[in-house]
Amino acid sequence: METLKLVYLVFKRRLIRNHFTLKTIIGKSNLILVILTCIAVFTIRPSATAEPVKIGISLPLSGNSATLGKQFVAGARLAMRLLPHANNIELLISDDGCDEKLAELAIDDIKNAGAVLVTGFLCNEPVFTAASMLLDSSIPILVAGARSNRIMKDRKRFSWDIWQIAPRDADASQSAFEILVKRWKSVPYAIVDDGTVFGRTQADEFRALMEEAGVKPQFVDNFRPSQSTQAGLIRRLGKSGVEAIYLAAGDDDVALIGRNMIEFGSGLEIATGEGISLLPYIDDNKGVPIGLLAIMPAPPEDVPALQFLKKTIEAANLEPEPYLLLGYAAIQVVLDYLDSEEKSFSGKLFNTILGPVEFDKNGRNITRQYFLYRWNGKSFTRIKTDN
């Protein structure tokens, strides 16, 4: 206002100095009004900038899974630096420790800070904690890494606003069935697990699907993991007369069994799950039989969209670990969601560094995430399949 008064006084003095009459001044009132309006537009500035949109990220930044959480954070921050439309976004990163009690504190902090959405969630328990704490809010939950089958079951049961990027635990067995049911239709095969809860569950789900399709295993067995040899298992498989084996086990055990098969002259075709994805990085992988099959998500070197980011990642002294890429992809989905007028995850295709993401009305990512790969002695190469 002081600026406007000063301009008006200057203008008035010039009018008087030039011997304008009162009538002339009144006649010029419209011109004065225009001048003052223009001055107001260019001199009056907003007192504050717009508040940033706050996005919560719940991750294990302590405990056994802290390394994965930190990789996710690195990917999320890289996305914030490189992607458009991220200028007005603020990340609220909290440590859930893969623990229910820590998750309560993390979600409470995120909620109180004014987040409009929360993502991350590499472990199952923090998802259930967040879902119950945010049930009465308007804050949607985008699950990036947790895979429990129960998440989607409870979503329907309790009407949770949850959307799951990661495949469910059951999706691995479903994909193995879809790929191997035709390949082994006329092949006598075995199903073997390592006796762990995860291995047994994966083997049982795969077996149920195959038997329902009329392709029953000829032999079913299990073994004790982390042994120096699995010679006993190899002998049992040899006596069974099978020609192929579906192995639900960790990478070290799969590699050991593969080497034992070569030592004992067994030519079985081995198929396993995504636990073997680290095989290229295992020091003693030289003895693993060429031709070993893996049903798993695409490894980083097989992700076309990653190539344009490779130099940027290396320049930042980072490695293209799967969870770094997952953090980047989660932010891509979040930014596209915030840009959409309808603010909905359903019915929209999200393009990410890991490939397309599309949610059905039940919150599941319905894009294909598992593919068939073959070990060539150094790395995995994709094999084309009908499905």
Convert the pLDDT of each residue in 23-55 to its tens digit.
Answer: 443 344 444 444 444 444 444 444 445 789 999
pLDDT computed for residue 321 by the predictor: 87
Q: Above pLDDT 70, what percent of the chain?
A: 87
The answer to whether domain 53-167+304-358 and domain 170-296 are alike in fold is: yes
N- to C-terminal Cα separation, the chain: 71
**Matching CATH number, 170-296, of 3.40.50.2300, 3.90.230.10, 3.10.105.10, 3.90.870.10:** 3.40.50.2300
pLDDT per position as a tens digit, 56-74: 999 999 999 999 999 999 9
All structural domains of the chain with their residue ranges: 2-43, 53-167+304-358, 170-296
Q: Which two tokens stand for residue 113?
A: 């800070």
The chain-wide mean pLDDT, for the chain, equals: 87
| pLDDT class of 4 with cuts at 50, 70, 90 | very low
**Distance in angstroms (rounded) separating the CA atoms of residues 220 and 142:** 38
Structure confidence by residue, pLDDT tens digits, 208-229? 999 999 999 999 999 999 999 9
Based on the number of CB atoms within 10 Å of its own CB, is 370 exposed (0-12), middle (13-18) or buried (19 or more)?
Answer: buried
Residue pointed to by tokens 């309808």: 342
Mean pLDDT of 92-101: 97
- Encode pLDDT of 327-376 as tens digits: 999 999 999 999 988 889 998 999 999 989 999 999 999 999 999 999 99
CA-CA-CA-CA torsion sign (97, 103, 109, 110): positive
Give the residue with greater pLDDT, 311 vs 150.
150
Q: ∠ CA 243-246-247 to the nearest 5 degrees?
A: 125
CB 370 within 8 A of CB 287: no
pLDDT tens digits for range 243-296: 999 999 998 899 999 999 998 888 899 999 998 988 887 777 778 899 999 999
Per-residue tokens: 24: 């002339």
What percent of the chain is predicted at pLDDT more than 90? 70
For 345, other C-beta atoms within 10 Å of its C-beta total 27
Residue-level pLDDT at 2: 46
Looking at the DSSP bridge assignments, the partners of residue 245 are 190, 270
Cα angle vertex 235, ends 229, 239, to 5°?
165
Which of the four pLDDT bands, split at 50, 70 and 90, describes residue 307?
A: confident
Alpha helices in the chain (DSSP H): 2-17, 22-27, 29-43, 66-82, 100-112, 124-133, 149-158, 169-183, 197-212, 231-240, 251-263, 310-315, 322-339
> What pLDDT was estimated at residue 49?
59
Residue 325's contacts (CB-CB under 8 Å, 6 or more residues apart) are: 75, 300, 303, 306, 353, 354
Residue 312: the pLDDT is 87
* pLDDT value at residue 306: 78
CATH code reported for the domain at 53-167+304-358: 3.40.50.2300
CA separation for the pair 57, 261 (Å, rounded) = 45
